[in-house]
Copies of this chain bind each other. A is one copy, B any other.
């Protein structure tokens, strides 16, 4: 089972920022590193290109996809739409157990907020959004969501999280959980859109910068 892993491993390399956006992807080097020949590597690159993580230039090799400001805005919009949809669907289908799990994750996230642990907060935040998408019970939706968030996360950036913004985000999350518990699909959809719009403004206002693989792992959740 070779080609299965290869896509995942290269995706990880890209997401880790080991190959920075816009940089050439050296086929021969990667072949040696992964101990595979060019055939499965090239197959994997084609798949990743279809996912939008890699750009293929005819006779000029492949590059790690470079996202412009516009690309980021576009992806955020799509992400927003997908999350809003997931929220609506989740409200129709989510089980009490799933709500309980999300509530627990929420409480933990709030704890990290109170402790001022931004990294753990982000992790918890991301887990909640993914749980909502999972609760929608729609694999096709989940797949697209994964793909889109991967592309967004691919472009690393540091967001200057001000206390005000952070407080707002937490407040929005309270509302998100509340809407979920009331199974208020329309309301949740609305809140999620606002939530992500704020996140987007925050990010795009700051611009985004590439970071080293050894960075703190700050990511958009």
Q: Which residues of B sit under 8 angstroms from A42, Cβ to Cβ?
A: 43
Does residue A212 face the partner (Cβ distance < 8 Å to B)? Answer: no
Does any Cβ of B come within 8 Å of A104's Cβ? no
Does B138 contact A77, Cβ atoms closer than 8 Å? Answer: yes
Q: Which of A118-170 contact B (CB under 8 A)?
A: 138-141, 143-144, 148, 151
Contacts of A4 in B (CB 8 A): 58
Tell me the chain A residues, 9-53 only, with Cβ under 8 Å from chain B.
39, 42-44, 46-47, 49-52
Nearest-neighbour CB distance to chain B for A77, whole angstroms, equals 6
Copies of this chain in its oligomeric complex: 2
Map CB proximity to B onto A49-88 as digits: 1 under 8 Å, 0 otherwise.
1111000001000000000000100110110111011000
Please tell me if the beta carbons of A140 and B148 are within 8 angstroms of each other in the complex: yes
Q: Is the CB of A78 within 8 A of B140?
A: yes
A89 within 8 A of B: yes
Decide yes or no whether A1 CB sits under 8 A from chain B: yes
A78 vs B84: C-alpha distance when bound (angstroms): 11
Name A85's contact: one of B1, B50, B81 (CB within 8 Å): B81
Chain B nearest CB, measured from A139 CB (Å):
6
Question: Does A114 make an interface contact (CB < 8 A)?
Answer: no
* A198 CB–B CB distance under 8 Å: no
A4 (CB) vs chain B CBs: closest residue: B58
Q: A74-B139, A140-B148 are in contact. List 16 more A-B contacts (CB 8 A).
A: A4-B58, A39-B39, A43-B46, A46-B46, A47-B49, A50-B51, A52-B140, A52-B143, A74-B140, A75-B140, A77-B138, A77-B141, A78-B138, A78-B140, A78-B141, A80-B85
Counting from the closest, the 10 A-B pairs by CB-CB distance are A81-B85, A74-B140, A50-B50, A74-B138, A47-B50, A43-B46, A78-B141, A46-B47, A78-B140, A75-B140
